[in-house]
Amino acid sequence: MLLQILVDGPQSATGIHRQVVLIKRVSLTDVVVTKLPKNAKQKTLEKAFKEQGTLAAWEATAWAKKLVNKAKRANLGDFDRFKVMVAKKQVSAAVGSV
């Protein structure tokens, strides 16, 4: 038996459209949009999402910051990766000499 849930972004704010997702593919967080009726319309969800500052609360979490840093690293060019490597070596040498 596969358990499914209805997930909604809302798409205008997060890019996630309303869809059915298997529950094993979902990771729960502490960020919640409260006081919504079941099967709320897109308009109602967007309003509650903005009023409660849900996106700002998510962006303040360590998980979101890690995803942003991972995306930045994935978009680095060769020379940028080289600069990161040199900077890591310099930090390591400075910490090791203390």
pTM: 0.75
DSSP state of 45: H
Taking only Cα atoms into account, the Rg of the chain, rounded to an integer number of angstroms, comes to 20
Chain-centroid distance, C-alpha 98: 37
pLDDT of residue 96: 83
Domain ranges across the chain: 1-58, 61-98
Strands (E), the chain: 4-7, 19-22
Residue ranges for the chain with pLDDT beneath 70 = none
